[in-house]
Amino acid sequence: AQSVSQHNHHVILSEAASLELGCNYSYGGTVNLFWYVQYPGQHLQLLLKYFSGDPLVKGIKGFEAEFIKSKFSFNLRKPSVQWSDTAEYFCAVNAHLGGNKLVFGAGTILRVKS
């Protein structure tokens, strides 16, 4: 079955630490890839997206993600986290063969200690 896997459910970091959240998907063929973020009490919002071209994409608030097609991965990174990055992060995939719908991973809760 088609799926999206996020490696860590909970991550705790101190401010200024580096962040990497793993995401793997099981689709073949053309995919569009997304990271969404949900801050406490807020709605899901787009952090960054990959459609084509440069596999290293930059998003808002200093986040970036790298698409590695051979590994079916789309890991999220940030060199130095801030307390305000405390949120839940969701990786999502739109597999064109799947009918233009997003399939989400289970999410990673990030807590940044000040």
Task: For the CB of residue 10, give the shortest distance to another protein in the complex, in Å.
Answer: 10
Binding flag, residue 61, another protein (CB under 8 A): no
Whose CA is closest to 65, among 88, 45, 97, 90? Answer: 90
- 46 in contact with another protein (CB under 8 A): yes
Question: Measured from the CB of residue 114, what is the shortest distance to another protein in angstroms?
Answer: 25
User: Considering only 16-24, 32-40, 61-69, 74-82, which stretch makes contact with another protein by CB under 8 A?
Assistant: 32-40
Distance CA 93, CA 25 (A): 7
Q: Which of 110, 86, 90, 107 is nearest to 33 (CA)?
A: 90
